[in-house]
Amino acid sequence: MKLSTHRYGKGRVRVMKVLRDGPIHSIKELTASIALEGDFEKSFTSADNSLVVPTDTMKNTVNVLAHQHLGSENEPFALKLAAHFLHQYPQISGVTVELCERLWGRLRIDGHGHPHSFAQAESETPFTRLVQHRDGTRHHESGVRDFVILKSTGSGFCDYPKCEFTTLPETKDRVLATRLSASWTWRTEPADYRAAHGAIIAAMLGPFARNYSVSVQATLWEMGQAALNACLEISQISLAMPNLHYLPINLAPFGRENKNEVFTPTEEPHGQIEATISRE
């Protein structure tokens, strides 16, 4: 028998840092995962721990380097973590770092942002994922998960094939809602990761809100194109847009007409639409 593939690491390392600018504070909260590849085969096949970096050491490394290097952008911190493990341990051939962020928004008190009080902000979870190898090859992507967006009109679904099992009625006016996940691949380093992230999200939301949607597929394509046009530093973007259904409630038994005003929210079962859009 042989060991075909192997890697190991530490997951769900949680760290929060207060970024201080005088009396004005900001919160950076991350959940980190580290995975190592390299000369670890004997730890699996021969009970030899002589080259195994303890996962507790990985956790401590995240905490110490967060104290030293974590700032407002996640991507440079991922690069620092990967560089540290490759420099410190010659038995490592590759490092995967994933950082997921919980967003905190500043509380507004008496109409003004409070300098050091916060509430959990948006629904989305920003993340970055870096795969760095000793030979210099790298795959670096960032994105957002669980970004819930909705439009109450400007969407329909018609002209699809039908068979004896089709019960879905055609409509030219429906609620379109999704829990968007998007990840984009960096081909060059932007001058400002946060600004690039903001430009990509803003670009995707434009066609979602403004354009009439004939299907989730068509809207996904428009959003991906807009993201690539807005940020030249990314080479491709992958989007997943599961339906969050809002089904019109039949009020006819009660002598009332429901003009797309009252709905039953449901996520189960849901349509799952995914695609990757790349530059030619």
Q: Which pLDDT tens digit goes with each residue over 2-28?
A: 899 999 999 999 999 999 999 999 999
As a whole number of angstroms, the distance between CA 139 and CA 3 comes to: 25
Cβ-contact 90, 73 below 8 angstroms:
no
The distance in angstroms from the start CA to the end CA of the chain is: 43
Q: pLDDT tens digits, residue range 236-261?
A: 999 999 999 999 999 999 999 999 89
Q: pLDDT tens digits, residue range 96-121?
A: 999 999 999 999 989 999 999 999 87
Per domain, the residue ranges of the chain are: 8-136, 146-278
Q: Which of 92, 117, 93, 86 is nearest to 24 (CA)?
A: 117
What percentage of the chain reaches a pLDDT higher than 90? 96
What's the CATH architecture for 146-278? Roll (3.10)
Long-range CB pairs of 159-167 (<8 Å, 24+ gap) are none
Helix then strand count (H, E) for the chain reads: 5, 12
CA dihedral 127, 133, 137, 138 (to 10 degrees): 0
Q: pLDDT tens digits, residue range 123-180?
A: 799 999 999 999 999 999 999 999 999 999 999 999 999 999 999 999 999 999 999 9
Residue 146's alpha-carbon distances to 23, 121, 228, in angstroms, are 32, 13, 21
Residue 201 has pLDDT above 90, yes or no: yes
| Tokens describing residue 35 | 């995975």
| Tokens describing residue 237 | 């973007």
Whether pTM exceeds 0.85: yes
Cβ-contact 105, 118 below 8 angstroms:
yes
Cβ-contact 264, 247 below 8 angstroms:
yes
DSSP code string of 58-115: HHHHHHHHHHHH--S-HHHHHHHHHHHHHHH-TTEEEEEEEEEEE-EEEEEETTEEEE
As a whole number of angstroms, the distance between CA 188 and CA 142 comes to: 13
pLDDT score recorded for residue 121 = 73
Q: Which of 238, 258, 260, 261 is nearest to 250 (CA)?
A: 258
Q: Which CATH class is domain 8-136?
A: alpha beta
Q: pLDDT tens digits, residue range 53-98?
A: 999 999 999 999 999 999 999 999 999 999 999 999 999 999 999 9
pLDDT score recorded for residue 241 = 98
Q: Please give the positions annotated as active site.
A: 10, 55, 245
- Estimate to the nearest angstrom the gap between the alpha carbon of 192 and the chain centroid: 18
Residue 228's alpha-carbon distances to 18, 52, 186, 223, 237, in angstroms, are 33, 41, 11, 9, 7
Assign 249 to helix, strand or coil.
coil
